[in-house]
């Protein structure tokens, strides 16, 4: 039975770990041909190897999404290898340093915004331009966050960037819907990833307290985000666009 992304060409940023790696493996399972990008080369090489071990098709490159040239190279590599780009998951991101708004340094602010917001915009610019060149059609999913829909204390740059991603997603969906290019975002809640481990300090008791705060009483898994992204990029979601979709175990329903 063909997968829901059979034959589609997909670019995934932040593919070297966490949600990006899990999503890459799911896309491969569902039949997509992949271009994997990450600023940490070792991680993206490992993801590429995992996909190859299960019979998937992928190529990889080291890329910093805050650099326009790296982003353009990733899209160009997809076209060079596969002839087109059908969908993209703009997922690369960092949490930055914690601290209240008045404690946030300009350096931290600029770095988080550059990667988490400007990086998404640069990816969308290149991806949409290529999709239009192909005659239109395509699906883009950006990684926002639950912190892109509500306020969170102690992460001002991260919260601002993720709110920006949600807004940028809505704006692009309106602009390119007539070209049959759908643009959505996933807004993960507390997901078991290396980023979450850093935030919780590898303390099991902190994880348990955090998990108890949600209706499902657990952290989410990276694969649960990946399944949502795969659906949004597939033809099964053909009438869904402009949606920053919480995948958060019900945290925002409270």
CATH code, domain carrying 65: 3.40.50.720
Q: Residue 55: its pLDDT value, please?
A: 95
Spatial distance between the Cα atoms of 147 and 122, rounded to a whole number of angstroms: 21
Q: Residue 41: its pLDDT value, please?
A: 96
Q: What's the pLDDT tens digit per position in 13-40?
A: 999 999 999 999 999 999 999 999 999 9
Establish if 199 belongs to a structural domain: no
Q: Residue 194: its pLDDT value, please?
A: 80
Establish if 203 belongs to a structural domain: no
Spatial distance between the Cα atoms of 220 and 115, rounded to a whole number of angstroms: 24
Q: What's the pLDDT tens digit per position in 224-252?
A: 999 999 999 999 999 999 999 999 999 99
Rg of the chain over all Cα atoms, to the nearest angstrom:
17
Establish if 198 belongs to a structural domain: no
Q: Given the residues 82, 158, 176, 239, select the one marked as catalytic.
A: 158
Exposure on the CB side of residue 198, measured as CA atoms within 13 A: 9
Establish if 143 belongs to a structural domain: yes
Which pair of tokens denotes residue 98? 């914690």
Give the DSSP H/E element, type plus range, for residue 154.
Answer: none
Establish if 4 belongs to a structural domain: no
Number of neighbours of residue 151 by Cβ within 10 angstroms: 9
Domain range enclosing 18: 9-191+222-244
Establish if 208 belongs to a structural domain: no
Q: Residue 140: its pLDDT value, please?
A: 99
| Total number of domains constituting the chain | 1
Establish if 40 belongs to a structural domain: yes
Q: Residue 206: its pLDDT value, please?
A: 74
Q: Residue 1: its pLDDT value, please?
A: 72
Spatial distance between the Cα atoms of 128 and 121, rounded to a whole number of angstroms: 10
Establish if 95 belongs to a structural domain: yes
Spatial distance between the Cα atoms of 22 and 139, rounded to a whole number of angstroms: 19
Q: Residue 186: its pLDDT value, please?
A: 98
Mean pLDDT (10-residue bins), the chain, 254 residues: 94 97 98 98 97 97 98 98 98 94 97 98 98 98 97 95 98 98 96 80 75 90 98 98 97 92
Tell me if residue 239 is catalytic. Answer: no
Which pair of tokens denotes residue 192? 């078991």
């Amino acid at each position: 039975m063909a997968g829901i992304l059979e034959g589609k060409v997909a670019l995934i940023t932040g593919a070297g770990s966490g949600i990006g790696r899990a999503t890459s493996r799911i896309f491969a399972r569902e039949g997509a041909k992949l271009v994997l990008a990450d600023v940490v080369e070792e991680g993206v090489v490992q993801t590429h190897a995992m996909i190859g071990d299960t019979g998937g098709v992928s190529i990889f490159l080291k890329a910093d999404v805050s650099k326009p040239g790296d982003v353009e190279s990733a899209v160009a590599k997809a076209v060079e290898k596969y002839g087109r780009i059908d969908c993209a998951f703009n997922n690369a991101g960092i949490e930055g340093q914690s601290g209240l708004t008045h404690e946030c340094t300009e350096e931290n602010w600029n770095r988080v915004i550059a990667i988490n917001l400007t990086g998404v915009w640069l990816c969308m610019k290149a991806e949409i331009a290529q999709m239009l060149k192909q005659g239109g059609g395509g699906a883009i999913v950006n990684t926002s966050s639950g912190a892109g829909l509500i306020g969170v204390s102690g992460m001002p740059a991260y919260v601002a960037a993720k709110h920006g991603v949600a807004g940028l997603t809505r704006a692009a969906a309106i602009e390119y819907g007539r070209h049959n290019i759908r643009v959505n975002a996933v807004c993960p809640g507390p997901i078991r990833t290396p980023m979450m481990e850093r935030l919780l300090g590898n303390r099991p008791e902190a994880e348990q307290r955090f998990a108890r705060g949600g209706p499902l009483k657990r952290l989410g898994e990276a694969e649960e985000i990946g399944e949502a992204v795969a659906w949004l990029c597939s033809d099964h979601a053909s009438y869904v666009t402009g949606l920053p979709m919480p995948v958060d175990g019900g945290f925002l329903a409270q």
